[in-house]
Amino acid sequence: MSPVSSGATFVLGGARSGKSRFAEQLVTDSTLERHYIATGRAWDEEMRVRIDQHKADRGDLWTTHEEPLDLVDKLASIDGEGRAVLVDCLTLWVTNLMMEGRDMVAEFAALAAYLPRAKARLVIVSNEVGLGIVPENRMAREFRDHVGRLHQLIAAVAADVYFIAAGLPLKMKG
């Protein structure tokens, strides 16, 4: 796949690296209407608390859209000039797709194809999961592999790519 630039910014980092805060700051510094697509599902109480905390941290300047599966359709429905859309995060989206038995190749291709056509300022967040040890079970290895392939597709079409570690951004592209 040859790189095609879009206005999208892709923000990667480990757990608790500061990637969501960095991504939100990219949007907060603008005068654009703010939309937040949350892909997480509250599978348990701990996750419910995390989701509620993220909502509270963002405040009422954001319109939140919870969409665990149909990310491209949701993007298309809110896309438009004068808007910023933050997607947080792709790894939770991949988890949801796997749990539902969705066609990963088709879903990933649809997202990568949509990004260059978007009119809104897009910021996409994901967890880098390929820097650790090889997972011990098949499902975890498949997850890591799916996420790695998705990251390569999104990084190829994004205009800017950042890696966040310890709250510090490293610009990798753009």
30: helix, coil or strand?
coil
C-alpha–C-alpha distance, residues 94 and 153, integer Å: 14
* Residue from 35, 54, 65, 146 carrying the catalytic annotation: 54
Terminal-residue alpha carbon distance, the chain = 18
Please tell me the number of Cα atoms within 13 Å of 108 on its side-chain side: 20
Angle at CA of residue 121, ends 168 and 112, nearest 5°: 90
C-alpha–C-alpha distance, residues 66 and 13, integer Å: 22
151 in catalytic set: no
Place of tokens 């610009």: 171
> Residue 41: exposed, middle, or buried by beta-carbon count in 10 A (0-12, 13-18, 19+)?
middle
Query: Could you give the residue numbers annotated as active site?
Result: 54
